[in-house]
Amino acid sequence: MFGYGFLHSELVVPGLLFLVLGLALVGIAKFWPQPHPVTTAAELLATTSLPPISESIVTNFVREITWPSLIDESATNLDGAERRTLIEGLALVASHWSTGVLTAAFEQETGDLRIAVIEALAATDSATAAPTLERAYSSYAVPERYAAIESASHQANVPLLERALRDTDGSIALAAAYGLHRAGRIDLVDDHLNTHTDARANEIRRILPILAIIESH
């Protein structure tokens, strides 16, 4: 059928070349590494098992008020009005013991009741009250600092009053100047005014003489 003559055909060489090339491509395809499938973010989220979301528990911090029990062990769960009455009563007692109770109240009270405590310290033992007034004056709240300087003025707490001359709030600086005037230390006010020309110092220069005149009548 076919003789050896076909080996001499002009198609033999190209045919052999195509055969070798085809076998090479089959081998390459067999051993070529298969590409990994690309996973999108949406597919990843859909197949990922997430833990269940638990409900958050909100804890409200309630400050415990225990200082009334220093007066009476049964004085628990008092409301704000009742505690204010006790604070005013401690100011009337004005003893070393009442100053200690007011100090404990200062630690626990906030807002208007804390200011009431600071004001009550004005009538108590000055040496015992001084550290608490120092702490009250260190407050960021202007009403607390003002109450501390008012109490310091009543107790002639000269170091604290002199410090408050430099307060950033003009009303507090003026109260401190008036307190020093009442304590007989106007020289400290003059020294401060001689080295300061800001708005607060100018307000002291303008108002303090008027307060002194009013006081003399």
For residue range 17-65, list pLDDT tens digits in order. 555 555 555 555 555 555 555 556 556 455 655 555 555 555 455 578 9
pLDDT of residue 154: 95
Same domain, 179 and 125: no
Boundary (domain end) residue, out of 136, 169, 195: 136
pLDDT of residue 2: 47
Letter for the amino acid at 7?
L
- If you average pLDDT over residues 74-80, what whole number do you get? 90
Boundary (domain end) residue, out of 102, 136, 170: 136
pLDDT of residue 215: 84
97 in a structural domain = yes
**Mean pLDDT value across the chain:** 83
52 in a structural domain = no
pLDDT of residue 7: 47
Contact 169, 146 (CB under 8 A): yes
Boundary (domain end) residue, out of 136, 168, 187: 136
Which residues make Cβ contacts (< 8 Å) with residue 118, sequence separation at least 6?
Answer: 106, 132, 133, 136, 144, 147, 148, 151
Going by pLDDT thresholds of 50, 70 and 90, the confidence category of residue 173 is: very high
pLDDT tens sequence across 83-129: 999 999 999 998 899 999 999 999 999 999 999 999 999 999 888 99
The pLDDT of residue 4 is above 50: no
Same domain, 90 and 124: yes
CA 67 to chain centre: 25
Q: What are the distances in angstroms from CA 213 to CA 76, 143, 183?
A: 48, 26, 16
94 in a structural domain = yes
- The whole domain housing 84 covers 64-136
Same domain, 165 and 217: yes
Stronger pLDDT, 20 or 137, i.e. the higher one: 137
The pLDDT of residue 150 is above 90: yes
113 in a structural domain = yes
Instruction: Tell me how many domains the chain contains.
Output: 2
Phi/psi region, residue 79 (left: phi>0; alpha: psi -120 to 50; beta: rest), is: beta
CB atoms within 10 A of CB 136: 26
Contact 186, 159 (CB under 8 A): no
The pLDDT of residue 67 is above 90: yes
Same domain, 131 and 165: no
Contact 147, 121 (CB under 8 A): no
195 in a structural domain = yes
Same domain, 113 and 160: no
Entry field: residues in the chain: 217
pLDDT of residue 217: 77
Percentage of the chain exceeding pLDDT 70: 71
Query: Alpha helix (H) ranges present in the chain?
Result: 12-31, 41-47, 80-93, 96-108, 111-120, 126-137, 142-154, 158-164, 170-182, 186-194, 199-216
- If you average pLDDT over residues 122-142, what whole number do you get? 94
29 in a structural domain = no
Same domain, 124 and 69: yes
For residues 68 and 189, give the distance between their C-alpha atoms in angstroms, rounded to a whole number. Answer: 40
